[in-house]
């Protein structure tokens, strides 16, 4: 065991072989009970991971679940900033994730040292940051938001309030348009949601005249402008379940299609095409997690997410403010 742990620390999971006859889904269920662990997964995870998770959700739902759980170990199948948020909210729990390298291009587009200078240039502004950012950025923020509560949080602030919105310029631009505000935007974006091709989507809409285009607000403005519905992953899922339409073009990461097909099996879902021939609407960070790595991280209880306490407390304040505002504003 000790040899294994040292090896994993040095090389990751590369050298660990898993018996191909092992029923990983059953083993993961066993480990959950043995270790009093909860598996939280984002909708962009591969289908097997979603199926074995105790809870699947968008960033707001996952943060709430991580805060309220009494499990001893939180196994976070998502990306680093999500696991970090779980640790910030529930520090006495052990938080592990299948692959510590599962980052986020949007989070990476906003380094704290540069953001600090940007903030200094706008001294009288309140800072609202999208949850897709590092703990360092959260610590420099006044309120955190997610794609499901961003608009309502901005609307709840006084009209004249000057605001910096970081790091996603697309979500920030969308909120500016919806609310008539003029928030100063950090120039960051998500590599997956920027890839959708307006031209190919337009052609697809011509071929499927009855399909509704549904998009995540991280998409660029021209795609949002022709969308029938815009929302967080959970909101997109709710929309396809409840709307009378039978066919949807889905402009977000493809992992969400698994739940859409499960929840609305008689409807048709067409992934919006990216602007080249690759599978660019798969998030390469989210997809670093695999069922094998999930099993190994539960078995060996690593890699573990650890945080500096001072940073954790500073990053917690704006998240607490978001959770409190979401509660007051009745956001589910």
**Site of interaction with ligand 13P (CB under 6 A):** 43, 58-59, 132, 146-147, 190, 216, 218, 232-233
- Give the residue with the Cβ less far from ligand SF4, 66 or 106: 106
Which residues is 274 bridged to in the sheet?
196
105 binds, among ligand 13P, ligand SF4, none (CB under 5 to 8 A by kind): ligand SF4
* Number of shown-chain residues binding ligand SF4 (CB under 6 A): 13
CA separation, residue 44 to residues 85, 191, 203, 219, 320 (Å): 17, 14, 26, 15, 25
For the CB of residue 124, give the shortest distance to ligand SF4 in the complex, in Å: 29
- Report the residue from 69, 90, 105, 147 that binds ligand SF4 according to the rule CB under 6 A: 105
For the CB of residue 281, give the shortest distance to ligand SF4 in the complex, in Å: 9
- Report the residue from 140, 192, 256, 294 that binds ligand SF4 according to the rule CB under 6 A: 192
Which residues ranging from 223 to 282 are in contact with ligand SF4 (CB under 6 A)?
A: 253
Three-class SS of residue 226? coil
Separation of CA 86 from chain center? 12
Give residues with Cβ within 8 angstroms of 303, minimum separation 6.
8, 96, 97, 99, 100, 297
Which residues ranging from 155 to 184 are in contact with ligand SF4 (CB under 6 A)?
A: none
- Report the residue from 53, 62, 74, 79 that binds ligand SF4 according to the rule CB under 6 A: 79
For the CB of residue 311, give the shortest distance to ligand 13P in the complex, in Å: 21
Of 247, 248, 249, 188, the residue nearest 220 (C-alpha)? 188
- Give the residue with the Cβ less far from ligand 13P, 58 or 194: 58
- Give the residue with the Cβ less far from ligand SF4, 13 or 43: 43
Integer-rounded Cα Rg, in Å, for the chain is: 20
- Give the residue with the Cβ less far from ligand SF4, 16 or 191: 191
Separation of CA 110 from chain center? 16
For the CB of residue 114, give the shortest distance to ligand SF4 in the complex, in Å: 18
Structural contact between residues 197 and 281, judged by C-beta atoms closer than 8 angstroms = no
> Could you give the angle at which helices 256-263 and 233-242 cross, rounded to 10 degrees?
20
- Report the residue from 40, 106, 137, 223 that binds ligand SF4 according to the rule CB under 6 A: 106
Give residues with Cβ within 8 angstroms of 308, minimum separation 6.
none
141 binds, among ligand SF4, ligand 13P, none (CB under 5 to 8 A by kind): none
Three-class SS of residue 271? strand
Structural contact between residues 184 and 260, judged by C-beta atoms closer than 8 angstroms = no
Which residues ranging from 4 to 23 are in contact with ligand SF4 (CB under 6 A)?
A: none
Does position 132 interact with ligand SF4 (CB under 6 A)? The reply is yes
Does position 283 interact with ligand SF4 (CB under 6 A)? The reply is yes
59 binds, among ligand 13P, ligand SF4, none (CB under 5 to 8 A by kind): ligand 13P
Structural contact between residues 267 and 247, judged by C-beta atoms closer than 8 angstroms = yes
Which residues is 40 bridged to in the sheet?
55, 76
As a whole number of angstroms, the distance between CA 321 and CA 45 comes to 28
- Chain residues binding ligand SF4 by CB under 6 A are 44, 79, 104-106, 132, 190-192, 253, 283, 285-286
């Amino acid at each position: 065991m000790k040899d294994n742990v040292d090896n994993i620390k040095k090389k990751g999971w590369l050298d660990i072989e898993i018996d191909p006859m092992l029923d990983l889904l059953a083993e993961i269920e066993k480990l959950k009970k043995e270790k009093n662990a909860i598996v939280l997964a984002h909708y962009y995870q591969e289908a097997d991971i979603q199926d074995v998770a105790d809870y699947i959700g968008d960033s707001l739902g996952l943060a709430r679940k991580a805060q309220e759980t009494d499990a001893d170990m939180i196994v976070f199948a998502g990306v680093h900033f999500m696991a970090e948020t779980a640790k910030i909210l529930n520090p006495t729990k052990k938080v592990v994730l299948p692959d510590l390298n599962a980052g986020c291009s949007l989070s990476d587009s906003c380094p704290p040292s540069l953001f600090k200078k940007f903030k200094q240039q706008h001294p009288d502004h309140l800072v609202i940051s999208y949850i897709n950012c590092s703990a360092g950025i959260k610590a420099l923020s006044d309120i955190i938001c997610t794609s499901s509560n961003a608009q309502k949080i901005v609307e709840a602030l006084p009209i004249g309030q000057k605001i910096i919105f970081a790091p996603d310029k697309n979500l920030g631009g969308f909120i500016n348009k919806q609310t008539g505000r003029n928030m100063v935007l950090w120039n960051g974006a998500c590599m997956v949601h920027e890839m959708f091709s307006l031209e190919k989507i337009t052609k697809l809409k011509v071929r499927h005249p009855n399909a509704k285009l549904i998009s995540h607000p991280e998409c660029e403005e021209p795609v949002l402008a022709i969308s029938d519905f815009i929302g967080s992953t959970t909101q997109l899922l709710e929309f396809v379940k409840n709307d009378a339409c039978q066919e949807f073009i889905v402009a977000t990461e493809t992992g969400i299609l698994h739940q859409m097909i499960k929840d609305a099996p008689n409807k048709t879902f067409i992934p919006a095409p990216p602007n080249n021939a690759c599978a660019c609407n798969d998030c390469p960070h989210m997809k670093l997690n695999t069922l094998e790595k999930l099993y190994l991280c539960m078995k060996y209880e690593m890699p573990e997410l650890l945080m500096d306490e001072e940073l954790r407390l500073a990053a917690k304040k704006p998240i607490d403010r978001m959770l409190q505002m979401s509660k007051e504003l009745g956001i589910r």
